[in-house]
Structure 1
Amino acid sequence: MAGGFAKDGAVQDQIDATVEDAVNRSRQGLPRGESRRECEECGEAIPEARRQALPGVRLCVACQAEQDKISGPFSGYNRRGSKDSQLR
C-alpha cells in the first residue's frame, strides 16, 4: 500500500532500480579483451591461472588488491530521502 503521492509498489521499484544500478556498475568494472602477460603497474608476470580465470585481466593479484583498497566501497545515493541516511 502506497501513501501520499507514491503509487503502489513504489518501494519495490526503488529497490529494483538500486539493484539494477549496482549490477550495471559491476559489469562496467569487469575486464574485457585479451589478458596481459605482465602487470600494467609493476611489470610482474601475471600467472596463467589468473589470466584464464579473468579474461582481460590487466593487473597482478597484489596490484589489484591495492587498486581495490583505493576504490573502496560505493555508498550510492539515498533514493528514499530519509533523514537517517542523509545524516551519515
Structure 2
Amino acid sequence: MATGWAGDGAVQDQIDATVDDAVARARRQLRQGPGRERCEACDAVIPLARREAVPGVRLCVACQQAQDEDEQAHSGYNRRGSKDSQLR
C-alpha cells in the first residue's frame, strides 16, 4: 500500500501513540487514597464494600452511574467518521 512520504510503520506508530495517550488519560482520572464515607453529590452513605472495592471513591453508585451516562453522552467521539460506518 502506498503511504506517500510516511515511513514504514508510521500508521501503526500513530495508532500506538493514540492508544498510549488514551491509557495515560484514563490513569490520570483514577482516584487514589481513602474513599469518602458519604457521597459528594447526594450525601448518601457509601457502603464499606464499595469503599474497599474502589479506591478514592467519592460518589454513591446511583450518582456515579448518572455521571458516567452524562460523560458518555458528551464524549465527542465521531462514530460517523470511522471506516466501519462507511462500509455499511
1:85 matches 2:87: no
Structure 1 residue 2, shift from structure 2 partner: 5.7
Q: Identity percentage over the alignment?
A: 57
Given candidates 58, 69, 75, the residue that maps to 2:77 is 75
Partner of 1:53: 53
Distance in 2, Cα, partners of 1:43 & 1:27: 26
TM-score (norm. length: structure 1): 0.79
Moved over 4 A (4+): none
Gaps of 5+ in 2: 83-88
Greater share of residues in helix: 2
1:31 matches 2:27: no
Partner of 1:79: none
Aligned alpha-carbon RMSD (Å): 2.2
Would the alpha carbon gap of residues 74 and 33 (structure 1) be closer, same or farther in structure 2, given more than 3 Å must change? farther
Distance in 2, Cα, partners of 1:45 & 1:85: 43
TM-score (norm. length: structure 2): 0.79
Structure 1 residue 63, shift from structure 2 partner: 0.2
Q: How many residues align?
A: 80
Partner of 2:9: 9
What letter corresponds to residue 22 of structure 1 in structure 2? A
Gaps of 5+ in 1: 77-83
